[in-house]
Amino acid sequence: MKKSLIFLSLVALLASCTGVSVEKAKIKTAQDSVSYVLGAEYGSGMSQNLGTFPGGLNAETFLEAFVNGFEGDSADIIVDDLRAFYMEYVQAAEAADKDTTGAVFEPANKDSISYLIGHAEGEGTAMRMESFPGGMNMVAFLDAFVNCFQGDSARIKVENPQMYINDYVMKAQSAEAEKAAQEAEEAAKTDENALAGKAFLEENAKKDGVVTTASGLQYKVIKEGSGTKPSTADRVKVHYHGTLIDGSVFDSSVDRGEPISFAVTGVIPGWTEALQLMSVGSKYTLYIPYDLAYGARSTGSIPAYSALIFEVELLGINE
């Protein structure tokens, strides 16, 4: 009965498949353009990849289903176990490929599997595009996808599509990072942890032996070593004891009884700066403002906007 329902649904679907068309996008902004170019790349690439699928797929059925899935429509064909249905088809196709009699593989469920894969691809692509840096014009993407999948020429052509897309993504990510930093800075003006950290560091800077760098990092030399100083290209071996400004311990290799090794650039900015000031054998106390630590995000038992205190001993370089 289930296969009969699939077949009837498919007959109705194919009866309506006389070519796939979608809304034509109006290209006015950089976002519109990159969305169209990306859609064109996806469409032409997907069309080429269909031929590599075991047993082949029905391109028109795939495209119809892709559009449905991308636009959020429910699938017209439903199976209880899509993976099992898919594997049965693939196994039959692979068996036919090994057949030496010259028989042609003509599976009855080729259109069904084409539809199911197309719908899943459409849903998955839409989800990925929703998180595209700088936003995505979904209409422009789908317009270009359908055109290029069907072999039509793209309305927008660029010399190097991948470079064009990458350039847009880098600029969008930079803008988003700048916006996030501005928002974090504004939030810090009223955040309790940020205000407490700022007050602590202002008072701490007045204490004997405390040095404040241009970045706002503060440190105090407990013991000055005589070895070499690490660079950003090095790995270091250290012992450390980390607390919040209220004295709460959040991490300590000293308490664990085992030092740790890591890249100089693989830690928070305050550590990266401080390590390059230290010679092997040195022990410093670091007072790190939130923007050189974990910023506006909480991590483990460290609340957002927390200033941190570390006692750090540099044991070796590249050991």
Catalogue the active-site residues: 240, 250-251, 268, 294, 310
238 exposed, middle or buried (CB, 10 Å; 0-12, 13-18, 19+)?
buried
Coil, helix or strand for 10? Answer: helix
Dihedral sign computed on CA atoms, order 295, 296, 298, 302: positive
User: Could you tell me which of 110, 278, 289, 267 has the C-alpha nearest to residue 199?
Assistant: 289
Contacts of residue 120, defined as CB under 8 A and 6 or more positions apart, other chains included, come to: 69, 82
Amino acid, res. 318: N
**Which parts of the chain fold into alpha helices (H)?**
2-16, 30-49, 59-70, 82-98, 110-130, 138-149, 161-188, 192-204, 253-256, 269-275
Q: Which two tokens stand for residue 235?
A: 């790995």
**Spatial distance between the Cα atoms of 272 and 276, rounded to a whole number of angstroms:** 7
Amino acid, res. 125: T
The β-bridge partners of 241 are 252, 311
Amino acid, res. 271: W
DSSP type of residue 309: E
Say how many Å lie between the first and final Cα of the chain, rounded. 68
Contacts of residue 278, defined as CB under 8 A and 6 or more positions apart, other chains included, come to: 225, 229, 230, 284, 312, 314
Report the half-sphere exposure of 19 (CA within 13 A, side-chain side).
Answer: 4
Vertex 55 angle, CA 82 and 20, to 5°: 75
